[in-house]
Structure 1
Amino acid sequence: MKTLLSFCVFALLLFVAPLNAQKQYTVDGQSYTLKTEVDGPITLLWNSIDGEYRYFVQKGSAITELKNSRMNGQYQQEYKESLKLLTADQQMSTDNVKLTRAGLKSFVSEYNKKADPNFNNETSSILLKTRLGVFGGISNSIFTENPNNSLLPVAGLDLEVIDEVKLRRHSVVVRFKQTFQASDYKYSASQFSLNYRFKFVKQQTFDIFVNTKFVAYTYSKREDFVVIDPVTNEVTLESSSGGDLSAPATFGLGADIALGNGFLILNYNDIVGIGVDSNGEFPVDFTVGYKFNL
């Protein structure tokens, strides 16, 4: 267990160390935590706030939010007029500017190059963010014997590290999962695991991902299981416990749905595994929880 914990701590330090690109700004009396996309004569700022991507530009000490309100079914595109006023000294056309990170970044960078010949458009290759989740659910623990296919309650914590720049579809998760015994199956387990998630659907308000568990340490305990002596046929009830470090390569599916200052999390865990024996039952391992932005 010490080996796994040391590895987890090392991995977290490696991922979290560069996390420094967010700052507090006050816009129209409201405080926001914003990320810098482009830094120059005009600075482009953004963040996902209450499940909505919002964009701001700073010129001098003034910060302007770029808006695209909807009225009578039509988008008003106020952001184009705001950008036109801010870049009037360089006669920039805003006709084809999209209110997206890529579209705004291109426009702001073009202006900055005209306004400052020494402008350097290099940006950080990574922008890491952490999320902490709590969850609970049920599991039939198909990678144990579970003779009656009993459903066991589970609960735990997720610490997720994501990159908001180049690897937005990818994340690493350190998970603690506790499995509790049931009346007809006295099995319990505490598991620390490292997981990789690929978000094959990534939208503004929700993600859908494949979860791969690739390293796990499990300490389990089983009580009152039947043992039959092959010589005497004597039946006894025994108990066992112990820990195991493994690389199970188990796969599951999940979704993050934006809600408040975080995400509602839905997971179908450990659907199938490679290099680990299943008891042959249909996998039932569902959890629901909530994930906070840190």
Structure 2
Amino acid sequence: MKRLLFLFIILASITTIAQQQYSVNGETYMLQKEVDGPLTLLWNSIDNEYRYFLQKDNTITELKNTEVNGEYQEEYKEVLQLQTSDTSLAVDDVKLTLPSLRDFVVRYNKQVDSTYTSEKKSIQLKTRLGAFVGASNNVYYTNPDNTVLPAFGIDFEIIDEVKLKRHAIVFRFKQLLKNSDYDFSNSEFSLNYRFKFIKRSAIEVFVNTKLVAYSYASRDVIFINSSGNEERITGSGGDLQTPGAFGLGADIALGNGYLTVSYNDIVAIGRESSDEFPVDFTVGYKFNL
């Protein structure tokens, strides 16, 4: 378990995204530089909202699109026109998204500087780290009385904010704890893929697919087998599995991160389960690194 926790710490530390501090209208923000040139594009996710800024000379202006009575005002287009008034670029089709703004700013920089070059980013990796607690009735192992055991663990999530916004890879460590009624414990490290079929600034809802998992179980379980005889399973050991297990979950924006809830391993293609209905819920909190 200590090795797995150490691995999570290493992964988190090597994926830190470089940012710089900027002052905008008396407020200080940590921003990422998306395009650097005569016109510079800055951005970041601040309080779970994507915010974009233009820097020209020493002046930084925020791009906004406020909503009034259900209609968006598109103030950012006026700012784009003012900042690029020395060219004939049209702003009508520019959207307040990172790819659209990036393309516009690069086109402007090329018009005002014939020597300007820009390498288009194919990916923009971001990471999230979280912890969770939960409970499971462990239907994929022998559980004669359908006992629900407590669980806890950590998630490390990798997402791409450019081309694969609805997709994520998650490394998960989950520890299942024994109790007086059911002498079973299990440590599991798994690789998961998530598809976010609902993705909003306030909430993301996803299907989770467990692709591969390594489990190390310790147990002393007495049960009645199919022949009606008492049988006992004892000992400990680990195995590598490709369960193809599916679950559902949601990340709800809260503070500098997300309240995350999930219903795990509802069905597993590569595993045999008991006749009991699967109960495997977790709730936790994750934050942006």
TM-score when normalising by structure 1? 0.85
Is the contact made by 1:16 and 1:128 (CA closer than 8 Å) also made in structure 2? Answer: no
- Whether 1:144 and 2:129 are equivalent positions in the alignment is no
Q: Specify the alignment match of 2:153 in structure 1.
A: 156
The CA deviation at 1:20 is: 4.5
Whichever residue aligns with residue 167 of structure 1, its letter is L
Whichever residue aligns with residue 246 of structure 1, its letter is Q
- Whether 1:33 and 2:30 are equivalent positions in the alignment is yes
SS at match of 2:86: helix
Choose which of 52, 66, 73 in structure 1 pairs with 2:63.
66
Q: Specify the alignment match of 1:270 in structure 2.
A: 265
Q: Specify the alignment match of 2:245 in structure 1.
A: 250
Unaligned runs of 5+ in 1: none
Separation in 2 of the partners of 1:16 and 1:279? 40
The CA deviation at 1:132 is: 0.8
Separation in 2 of the partners of 1:13 and 1:50? 26
Q: Specify the alignment match of 1:107 in structure 2.
A: 104
Percent identical residues: 55
Separation in 1 of the partners of 2:169 and 2:5? 11
| Aligned residues between the structures | 288
Q: What's the Cα RMSD here?
A: 3.1
Choose which of 236, 241, 244 in structure 1 pairs with 2:236.
241
Is the contact made by 1:130 and 1:162 (CA closer than 8 Å) also made in structure 2? Answer: yes
SS at match of 1:270: strand
Separation in 1 of the partners of 2:2 and 2:190? 9
Is the contact made by 1:38 and 1:123 (CA closer than 8 Å) also made in structure 2? Answer: no
Whichever residue aligns with residue 209 of structure 1, its letter is F
Separation in 1 of the partners of 2:4 and 2:162? 25
TM-score when normalising by structure 2? 0.87
Separation in 2 of the partners of 1:95 and 1:126? 26
Unaligned runs of 5+ in 2: none
Task: Evaluate the alpha carbon distance shift between residue 279 and residue 226 of structure 1 in structure 2; reply closer, same or farther with a 3 A threshold.
Answer: closer
Is the contact made by 1:18 and 1:127 (CA closer than 8 Å) also made in structure 2? Answer: no
Separation in 1 of the partners of 2:10 and 2:180? 41
Can you list the C-alpha shifts for 1:137-190, whole angstroms capped at 9, x where unaligned? 111111011111121111110111112222222222111111112333221111
The CA deviation at 1:93 is: 3.5
SS at match of 1:90: coil
* 280-289 vs 35-44, which moves further: 35-44
Q: Specify the alignment match of 1:201 in structure 2.
A: 198
The CA deviation at 1:37 is: 2.9
The CA deviation at 1:89 is: 1.4
